[in-house]
């Protein structure tokens, strides 16, 4: 059997967008990913369901896998002919022990690539508004480990040389030793009023910053109960924080937001959350696909064959638009055969999806639900007209019922199916919910409500609604909110317009209120 290859990849400090292009490519081509606690969990969502995932960090039920065991694991996987991605937080060459892993791989004749990552030593201070250099205050910096015991630190660090060697000193993994570090720096010449900042979980939703001086920072850490992991920044560059702090001023900073809509539609909501400083965590609990049930397919083919007999084509979602045009292609029906029909759409995104295909919809209703569409076109409806309704299999019955009540023949077509999806995340979502690390859950349809609760149950949570009791629940509109309430959820946010833009605006409005401070 041919040997595999190992990519030793730096994942960056936590924000999934800070991985390099080469690192992401290595991650996505891997057969198996070996990762630990400091590698951002969102990166694993880039993997296909067939990719094996091996966690080597610490869990409540077992201790961290020893470094020697990790080294051997990489060798064993590669000898099985697998392409392996060893995903490490930050940069693998900065206190990442990549040398030990690479050395054993080389000893066994296994090919490897080292893919650098953005080190937390630079990125974490930057997200706190602290550049590690400044033309007036620091023209150099040092990166120093703070993880070892004091006696070992003294053997590894020449305090008399390090203390004033560079303008900025950056200590990684040194929160527990902050008192000893401060003492040594003052003992060897740094003034007690030298600014110090500790930045915990930088670039993530939990990012928190504590500022002090060498003389008082140890007391402040103890008083605040400030815990690792954190980067310690020592030097005058810390003074820049007050004027440069940018991440913490964003409206959704500090919120990790669960996005439950189908992966194909999740990107818009996730991008908006990310731009506003929130951290989206995608867990798509629905997936859509073209209708496959033979009877429904036959009905679609027969209905589309009568394209020139419709007065209306009414579409209620972008998914419906996409599926409708896919069926036109499958059945060989030219859109021009609908020449006598007027197209109506629920919501601007549905209208945009139509326009992208060269079809202009009737003026939009003010309410982006079926009832709003009916109000908008009511004056143009006539008894005896025919309306084609290409929709999903879970669509509400209000539109065809009201059309029939007005004497309009409603031809319903289930052009796509909505199915439950349980993403593979190795139980990470349950861990985050139980630890209070998910601050908001967003629902964009009734099916996302029911499917998330069912997915949580399948993952091992006996009381899914109870698990969401302390999470802010945000719904895209009244129908979704009603479903959430019926399932025992407290709805905190309901968008005034049933669009992604409306949902995002509602999240910001809630956050601006004192009660929405999170």
Quick: pLDDT tens for 153-190. Answer: 777 789 999 999 999 999 998 899 999 999 999 999 99
> Quick one: tokens of 153?
């630190």
- What's the confidence (pLDDT) of residue 63? 61
Q: Please compute the mean of the pLDDT values over residues 2-18 and round it to a whole number.
A: 94
Tell me how far apart the alpha carbons of residues 336 and 356 are, in angstroms, rounded to a whole number: 16
pLDDT tens, 424-444? 776 789 989 999 999 999 999
CB-side exposure of 186: number of CA atoms within 13 Å?
Answer: 18
Calpha distance 474→257 (Å, rounded): 10
As a whole number, mean pLDDT of residues 226-253 equals 96
CATH for 122-245, options being 3.20.20.80, 3.10.150.10, 1.10.3720.10, 3.30.950.10: 3.30.950.10
DSSP, res 235? S
CA distance 507 to 258: 13
Could you give the strand order of the β-sheet that contains 208-213, starting from the edge strand earlier in sequence? 141-145, 168-172, 230-234, 195-200, 208-213
We find that the CATH architecture of domain 256-285+422-516 is: 3-Layer(aba) Sandwich (3.40)
Whether 58 is catalytic is yes
Among this protein's residues, is 247 annotated catalytic?
Answer: no
Considering only 53-67, 284-298, 318-332, 365-379, which range has the smallest mean pLDDT?
Answer: 365-379
Continuous segment of H or E residues that includes residue 424: none
DSSP per residue over 214-228, as a string? TTTHHHHHHHHT--S
Residue 326 Cα to chain centre, angstroms: 29
Segment 45-62 shows an average pLDDT of: 77
CATH 3.20.20.80 applies to domain 288-420? no
Establish whether 173 is a catalytic residue.
Answer: yes
Which residue out of 5, 15, 88, 173 is catalytically annotated?
Answer: 173
Q: Could you tell me if 339 and 308 are in contact, meaning their C-beta atoms sit under 8 angstroms apart?
A: yes
CATH 3.40.1010.10 domain range(s) in the chain:
5-118
Give the count of alpha carbons within 13 A of 99, CB side only. 3
Angle at 171 between CA 167 and CA 177, to 5 degrees: 125
- Which is catalytic among the residues 5, 15, 36, 349? 36
Q: Is 90 left (phi over 0), alpha (psi -120 to 50) or beta?
A: left
CATH class of 5-118: alpha beta
User: Whole-prediction pTM value?
Assistant: 0.83
Give the model's pLDDT for residue 308: 94
Catalytic residue (one of 58, 66, 152, 187): 58
């Amino acid at each position: 059997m041919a040997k595999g290859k190992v990519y030793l990849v730096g994942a960056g400090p936590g924000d999934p967008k800070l991985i390099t292009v080469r690192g992401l490519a290595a991650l996505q081509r891997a057969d198996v990913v070996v990762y630990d606690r400091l590698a951002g969990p969102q990166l694993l969502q880039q993997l296909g369901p067939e990719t094996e995932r091996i966690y080597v960090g610490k869990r409540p039920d077992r201790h961290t896998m020893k470094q020697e065991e990790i080294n051997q694991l990489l060798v064993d996987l590669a000898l099985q002919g697998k392409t392996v991605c060893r995903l490490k937080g930050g940069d693998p060459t900065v206190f990442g022990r990549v040398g030990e892993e690479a050395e054993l791989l080389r000893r066994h004749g296994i090919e490897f690539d080292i893919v650098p990552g953005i080190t937390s030593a630079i990125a974490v201070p930057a997200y706190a508004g602290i550049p590690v250099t400044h033309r007036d205050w620091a023209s150099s910096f040092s990166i120093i480990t703070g993880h070892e015991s004091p006696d070992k630190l003294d053997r590894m660090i020449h305090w008399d040389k390090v203390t004033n060697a560079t303008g900025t000193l950056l200590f990684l993994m040194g929160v527990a030793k902050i008192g000893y570090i401060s003492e040594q720096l003052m003992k060897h010449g740094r003034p007690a009023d030298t600014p110090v900042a500790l930045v915990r979980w930088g670039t993530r939703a939990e990012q928190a910053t504590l500022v002090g001086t060498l003389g008082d920072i140890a007391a402040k850490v103890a008083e605040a109960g400030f815990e690792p992991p954190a980067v310690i920044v020592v030097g005058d560059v810390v003074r820049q924080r007050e004027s440069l702090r940018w991440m913490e001023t964003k409206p959704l900073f500090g919120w990790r937001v669960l996005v439950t809509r189908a992966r194909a539609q999740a990107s818009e909501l996730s991008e908006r959350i990310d731009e506003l400083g929130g951290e989206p965590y995608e867990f798509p609990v629905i997936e859509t696909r073209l209708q496959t049930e033979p009877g429904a397919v036959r009905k679609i083919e027969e209905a589309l064959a009568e394209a020139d007999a419709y007065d209306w084509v009414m579409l209620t979602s972008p998914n419906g638009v996409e599926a409708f045009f896919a069926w036109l292609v499958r059945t060989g029906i030219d859109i021009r055969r609908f020449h006598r029909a007027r197209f109506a759409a629920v919501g601007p995104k549905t209208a945009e999806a139509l326009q992208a295909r060269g079809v202009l919809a009737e003026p939009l209703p003010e309410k982006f639900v079926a009832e709003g569409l009916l109000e908008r076109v009511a004056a143009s409806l006539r008894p005896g007209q025919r309306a084609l309704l290409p929709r999903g299999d879970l669509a509400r019955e209000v539109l065809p019922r009201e059309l029939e009540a007005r004497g309009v023949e409603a031809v319903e077509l289930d052009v796509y199916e909505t199915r439950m999806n349980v993403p593979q995340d190795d139980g990470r979502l349950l861990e985050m919910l139980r630890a209070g690390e998910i601050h908001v859950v967003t629902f964009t349809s009734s099916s996302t409500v029911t499917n998330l609760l069912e997915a949580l149950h399948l993952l091992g949570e006996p009381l899914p609604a109870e698990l969401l009791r302390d999470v802010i629940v945000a719904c895209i509109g009244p129908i979704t909110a009603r479903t959430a309430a019926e399932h025992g959820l407290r709805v905190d946010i309901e968008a005034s317009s049933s669009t992604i833009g409306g949902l995002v605006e509602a999240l910001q409005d809630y956050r601006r209120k004192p009660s929405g401070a999170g």
